[in-house]
């Protein structure tokens, strides 16, 4: 999955970017306070993308 597609799905679910790190971005779901690191790669493997969406309750 492309990183921009994952970010689009996170935004639609109500998540927002908390901060940018050197190699990861931290996204937060304000409804439940969960935070997840998203790697800063152009392509993110599908199992990892699904894990991120599940952990942020954005699937």
Show the domains of the chain with their CATH numbers. 3-55 (3.30.920)
Count of residues in the chain: 59
Q: What is the DSSP letter of 43?
A: B
pLDDT tens readout for residues 1-51: 999 999 999 999 999 999 999 999 999 999 999 999 999 999 999 999 999
As given in the structure block, the two tokens for residue 29 are 């779901």
The secondary structure of 21-39 as a DSSP string is: -SSEEEEEETTTTEEEEEE
Q: What is the pLDDT of residue 54?
A: 96
Q: What is the pLDDT of residue 9?
A: 97
Coil/strand/helix, residue 27: strand
For the entire predicted model, the pTM comes to 0.91
As given in the structure block, the two tokens for residue 7 are 């970010």
């Amino acid at each position: 999955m492309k990183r921009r597609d994952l970010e689009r799905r996170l935004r639609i679910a109500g998540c927002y970017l908390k901060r940018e790190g050197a190699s990861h971005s931290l996204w937060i779901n304000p409804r439940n306070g969960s935070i997840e690191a998203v790697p800063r790669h152009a392509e993110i493997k599908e199992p990892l993308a699904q894990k991120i969406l599940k952990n942020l309750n954005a699937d």
